[in-house]
Amino acid sequence: MKRFLRFLKATLVGGLLFLVPLTVLVIIVGKALEVAHKFTDPIAARLPGMAEQAPMLLAALLLTLVCFLMGLLALTGPARKVVAWLEGALLSKIPGYSFLKGAGESALGLEQRAPYPLVLARIEEAWQFGFLIERMDGGHAAIYVPGAPNPLSGSVYFMAEDRFRNANVPVATALKCLRQLGVGAHKLPLDLS
């Protein structure tokens, strides 16, 4: 019974951790489209024969343009300093932020070297995907082993160096395999010997 309750709790928390960012994203995009409509509706009203499609299309185009311009702004030195300050002062204090940011950048190809390298961790008689979080004294390391299907829920193991190795698999591919409960694993170049 305790095992079932632990499973139920972990699944509910994992579902919550999955839904919260998704819900926040939907709300933010929805609000941004509302604001964009205030600018584009007067223009759309003047377009003949497009009264139904034009407002949403123009709002989406405006939102895309604003995102592109903000992306250009984010490349400037002052913007990078502001983002670095925000991450250091606020965002880094949110549990899992650094890991999620690094995994996201790696999955999108924005990070040259993954901040937390993907490894295969030997736990009992099985190999599992893990992330090398930190090397420790005495030949040990902190390894985060994500859960499936929700990689945001997992466990931290302190392992000897001989209990893990480089996975040689892109982070995005490993996370996709976890979310799909192992589907596609036969295509991965894993050394499980």
Q: Which two tokens stand for residue 185?
A: 């694993």
Q: Which two tokens stand for residue 83?
A: 């983002």
Q: Which helix (H) or strand (E) holds 11?
A: helix 2-45
Q: What is the pLDDT of residue 95?
A: 63
Measured in degrees and rounded to the nearest 5, phi and psi for residue 157 equal: -120, 145
Res 90 pLDDT > 70: yes
Q: Read off the pLDDT of residues 47-74 as tens digits, 9 standing for 90 and up.
A: 776 666 677 778 888 888 888 888 888 7
Q: Is 0.85 surpassed by the pTM of this model? A: no
Q: Which helix (H) or strand (E) holds 141?
A: strand 140-146
Nearest to 145 by CA among 175, 170, 172: 175
| Helix, coil or strand: residue 127 | strand
Determine what percent of the chain is predicted with pLDDT higher than 70. Answer: 80
Res 138 pLDDT > 80: yes
Q: Using CA atoms, how far apart are residues 106 and 20, in angstroms rounded to an integer?
A: 22
Cα distances from 50 to residues 56, 72, 121, 179, in angstroms, run 10, 31, 57, 41
